[in-house]
Amino acid sequence: MEFVRPLEPILIIDDVKEIRDYLNQILTDLGFEDILESADFSSAKPIMNNKPPGVIFVDVDLPDSNGADILEYINSAYPHTHVVMCSGHNSLENVQNTWEMGAKGFIAKPFNTKKVDTVMKRLEIIE
């Protein structure tokens, strides 16, 4: 019998391929296997409809949408999905806005394994 992590599948939404690749590698190194990727929000919607994710890492600044709109959509359509907002702008206001909008986490770019591991462990406790 295969052990299924409740947080998977994981969806990464970021318009920069190198960032998606790097976060995917970190998650893989942490033992996660079911990782999906999308370059923008419009192409992420069919992925979510086909395979609702347990966790979504989403860039706050996407070319076709912004963090608030994405979070509102996900919280409405997928209330059991944990959203982790990602941004290169690690201001206190940015972090506070993320929590107020209903995100379960915030990671400042650049990522590192420790930051991602800490957020994922926190989400497992919430689960």
Tens of pLDDT, residue by residue over 19-63, are 999 999 999 999 999 999 999 999 999 999 999 999 999 998 888
% of residues, the chain, pLDDT over 90: 57
- CA 72 – CA 84 distance, rounded (Å): 13
Q: Which residue has the tokens 């992420």?
A: 44
Nearest to 83 by CA among 93, 69, 91, 92: 69
Range scoring the smallest mean pLDDT among 21-25, 73-77, 93-97: 93-97
User: Count of CB atoms within 10 A of residue 92's CB?
Assistant: 7
pTM value > 0.85: yes
